[in-house]
Amino acid sequence: MNGKLQKLRLSLATVSVFRNILADGVMTKLKELLDKADSGDIPQILESYGQFVHALYERNVNFSKYLMKLVSEDENVYIISRSQGREINPSIAEAAEYELSVFQELSQLTPDDIADGIGYSGYLPKWETSNISFMDKYHHRLENVAQYGYGKWAKSDMFIFREGSIVPVKSHDTQKLSELYGYDIQRNSVINNTLALLNGKPALNALLYGDAGTGKSSTVKAIVNEYSPLGLRLIEITKEQLRNIPEIVEEISGNPLKFIIFIDDLSFTAGEDSFGALKATLEGSVAANADNMVIYATSNRRHLIKETFSDREGDDVHRNDSLQETLSLSARFGLRVNFSRPDKNAYVAIASELAKSRGIKMSEKDIALKAEQFAISSGNGRSLRTAKQFVEQLLSE
């Protein structure tokens, strides 16, 4: 093994701050290659070489860019301390800076370096490298960590809670605000509240309620897509996971990013345990409160309760108190936004805008007539969703 490969091998062995990177699939194969490079066993070395290049090809043919991505997204004591404004031990800071220089040198490793190091003159599959300043790139992310995030928070904009953990959604809804039509007043109300959160101002928990298909969920997800570059993330939970909000809050507390905890299509039946969990959260329970998060919920019901006449009668001695507690849950959301079914004119306007955006050339009169016919024949009535379905039908024809 030549001096360059030996130096890289020994330098990687002492990596501490960015140690998690070495567990990555590509880096594991590279370490195996460097470990075998001085064995003299060419077939074994070439086998490790092939495994490394195969793993790299599946992710990014440019090794420099791939390694920079690993470094940028790594969650470690250095970036966590910096993001929370804590004092960093000089030894940790020194180690981090040194390891960045190691990755800088490693990022320029080429197939020719391997061939020279093992004395091999045959064909080797190639990969690409780029001249990237790891120091500059990483320090830029440190200075803007409230926008970029770190660890899993840098890998996605939307997350779900699964089996006790917050996990990234790899392929999430890419709905854009510019693709939503109608409901401008309602949408702007939610946008302004979200911007208050992003700007460190008081923001309210929000309930988006109203008829099905009016764009309540699409509004929330489009807002996240629009403002994720400013440090906004979404964590979607189910009604059954409301009791897990305290542990979610504990994980995100102190994180420089801003979070929307999102519950879609929320409703309760009388006596559900999760009702109390949400009530405690909205009332500001110490265990379920953080200044970098809000709760956004959507529901087809303003009061969130599936209520029967027998519920109103009941056998509770203080049934009026119980009834008021049940019906007042929605009032605990500081912001309540009504997405009601559009009237004919609003529905036709939405359909017309959607049709134009998709390049459909049809007169306003024909669109109005056909859109109304579609709403009636589909049985879904007028809504944003119905307008989208109408336009999709036009495109298919």
Q: Looking at residue 147, what is its pLDDT?
A: 94
Tokens (6 digits) for 250: 């504990």
Per-residue model confidence as pLDDT tens digits over 191-203: 999 999 999 999 9
Helix (H, G, I), strand (E, B) or coil at 358: coil
* Whether residue 318 has pLDDT greater than 60: no
The length of the chain in residues reads 397
Given pLDDT bands bounded at 50, 70 and 90, which one contains residue 173? Answer: confident
Q: Where are the alpha helices (DSSP H) in 58-158?
A: 63-73, 77-83, 90-106, 111-118, 134-143, 145-148
Average pLDDT over residues 321-325: 52
For the full predicted model, state whether its pTM sits above 0.85. no
Q: Looking at residue 359, what is its pLDDT?
A: 84
Pairing of strands 165-168, 232-237: unpaired
Given pLDDT bands bounded at 50, 70 and 90, which one contains residue 317? Answer: very low
Q: Looking at residue 231, what is its pLDDT?
A: 96
Q: In the block, which residue shows the tokens 């700007």? A: 199
Given pLDDT bands bounded at 50, 70 and 90, which one contains residue 316? Answer: low
Pairing of strands 293-299, 206-210: parallel
Contact present, 245 and 288 (Cβ < 8 Å):
yes
Q: Where are the alpha helices (DSSP H) in the chain?
A: 3-13, 25-36, 42-57, 63-73, 77-83, 90-106, 111-118, 134-143, 145-148, 184-198, 216-227, 245-252, 273-282, 309-313, 319-327, 344-357, 364-378, 384-396
Q: Looking at residue 12, what is its pLDDT?
A: 96
Average pLDDT over residues 173-188: 88
The fold of the 158-339 domain, in CATH, is Rossmann fold (3.40.50)
Tokens (6 digits) for 37: 């490079």
Given pLDDT bands bounded at 50, 70 and 90, which one contains residue 230? Answer: very high
* Whether residue 348 has pLDDT greater than 90: no
Tokens (6 digits) for 367: 């669109």
Strand partners, 268: 305
Average pLDDT over residues 123-136: 97
Average pLDDT over residues 122-141: 96
Domain range list for the chain: 3-149, 158-339, 344-396
